[in-house]
Amino acid sequence: MIEKGILAILSFIVVPISLGFLFTRFINKEKNSILFAFVIGYLVEFAICELISVPMIFLKCKFTTLLYTYSIIVGVLAIISIIINFKNIKEIITINIDEIKKTPKILCLLCIFLIGIQIYVFAGFMHVDEDDAFYVGTSVTTVQTNSLFKYDPATGALDGENAKIRFILGPFSLFISIISGILNTHPTIVSHLIYPIAIIPVIYFLYYLIAKKLFKEDRKSIFMFLILINIINMWGAYSGKSNFSYLLFRIWQGKAMLCNLIIPVIWLLGLNAYENEYKFIDCLLLFIAILAGNLTTTMGIGIPPIELMLLIFSFEISEFDFKQKISSFNFKKMFINLLKGLCCCIPSIINGLIYILY
């Protein structure tokens, strides 16, 4: 039990933060932000899983091959990050402690209480979802048969290799299988208990970063925003298809991660890229976010790039002065920035072509 607890802390906290700092160290504004590194770290994990799992499915590799390959890649990158950032650990801790001291205590505690209620629901109760017959079934089948989409998760028939391409290109269930393999815990327990407890705080960290971007140093407004988001999520189950329902009913499914993590994070990273004039590191993070979105579901192939390109186009148009002549507008700059955004969408372009031609 203690060993699993240590592995869980390493898998859900230490490793993601380490992976995040491997990239955030090149961003001045977010260089020392643990929360930003936390969010980016999960994107990196999703991107790595997508990058290696899809080829392995087509090559009919065993699950253990995927598990060991993923673990080695993520582990090596995390160790490299710790070594590189070791000298800055004291500075990172000091800056983040100062950030905590500036928070309005009552509003912060209320926010933590509301998030805690949502986590408690996952820990104390269980939601039975019809889609689990496929998604959790796929995770369980993957672990128990040591295969990748070889068996049908519903019937056990040896026709899983004929699985629809949309499931192969967005194999988020395999990520749950990997976590299950690392923790040596049944995939159903990982899906319904461990993963939700770990990922819900990360999603609210993302909302905190978005609020900080919107309200700057107005910390009262930041936490009022977070409290409002909590209330909306807790009372937003007007439909089983809303992102609020996905968050609190079935966050272990890829489509839930798409609407609650990937779409908001692209908005945040897109705004950062615009403010930093689309530096390489900002475009790289957007590339990783798009690739991570591909893992969640095939909707993650189409929606994130559309969102990103519309964001960039909107940012560029916002600089247009309608009182001046159209010739004064810098179309070259807009074209270059749109081209950079298109380069960030390469993972979706490739997977989109595979989906059409397969």
Q: Mapped to the 3 state alphabet, what secondary structure does 91-142 carry?
A: HHHHHHHHHHHCCCHHHHHHHHHHHHHHHHHHHHCCCCCHHHHCHHHHHHHH
Higher-confidence residue of 5 and 108: namely: 108
**Is 333 a residue whose pLDDT tops 90?**
no
pTM for the full predicted model = 0.92
* pLDDT 10s digits, 335-352: 898 999 999 999 999 999
How far apart, in whole angstroms, are the C-alpha atoms of residue 59 and residue 55?
6
* pLDDT 10s digits, 116-151: 999 988 888 777 777 788 888 899 999 999 999 888
pLDDT score at 163: 63
**Is 164 a residue whose pLDDT tops 80?**
no
Question: Are the C-beta atoms of 24 and 31 separated by less than 8 Å?
Answer: yes
* Residue 141 vs residues 62, 130, 144, 252, 315: alpha-carbon distances, Å: 12, 17, 5, 16, 45
**Is 325 a residue whose pLDDT tops 70?**
no
User: Which range has the worst mean pLDDT, 35-44, 52-61, 247-256, 296-305?
Assistant: 247-256
**Is 161 a residue whose pLDDT tops 60?**
no
Q: Tell me what the pLDDT averaged over the chain comes to.
A: 88
pLDDT classification of 323: cutoffs 50, 70, 90: low
Higher-confidence residue of 103 and 244: namely: 103
Higher-confidence residue of 157 and 19: namely: 19
From the number of C-beta atoms within 10 Å of its C-beta (0-12, 13-18, 19+), residue 299 rates as middle
Mean pLDDT throughout 100-118? 90
User: 164, 162, 168, 194: which is closest to 181 by C-alpha?
Assistant: 194
How far apart, in whole angstroms, are the C-alpha atoms of residue 314 and residue 311?
5
User: Which range has the worst mean pLDDT, 109-118, 257-266, 314-323, 336-345?
Assistant: 314-323
pLDDT score at 242: 75
pLDDT score at 334: 82
Mean pLDDT throughout 284-305? 93
The DSSP result for 300-339, as a single string, is HHHHHHHHHHHHHHHHHHTT--TTS-GGGS-HHHHHHHHH
How far apart, in whole angstroms, are the C-alpha atoms of residue 241 and residue 229?
18
pLDDT score at 28: 78
Question: Are the C-beta atoms of 67 and 289 separated by less than 8 Å?
Answer: no
Higher-confidence residue of 215 and 242: namely: 215
**Is 86 a residue whose pLDDT tops 80?**
yes
pLDDT classification of 328: cutoffs 50, 70, 90: low
**Is 160 a residue whose pLDDT tops 70?**
no
CA atoms in the 13 A half-sphere facing the CB of 89: 8
Token output for 85: 């950032």
**Is 358 a residue whose pLDDT tops 60?**
yes
- φ, ψ dihedrals at 102, nearest 5°: -85, -10
pLDDT score at 178: 95
**Is 228 a residue whose pLDDT tops 80?**
yes
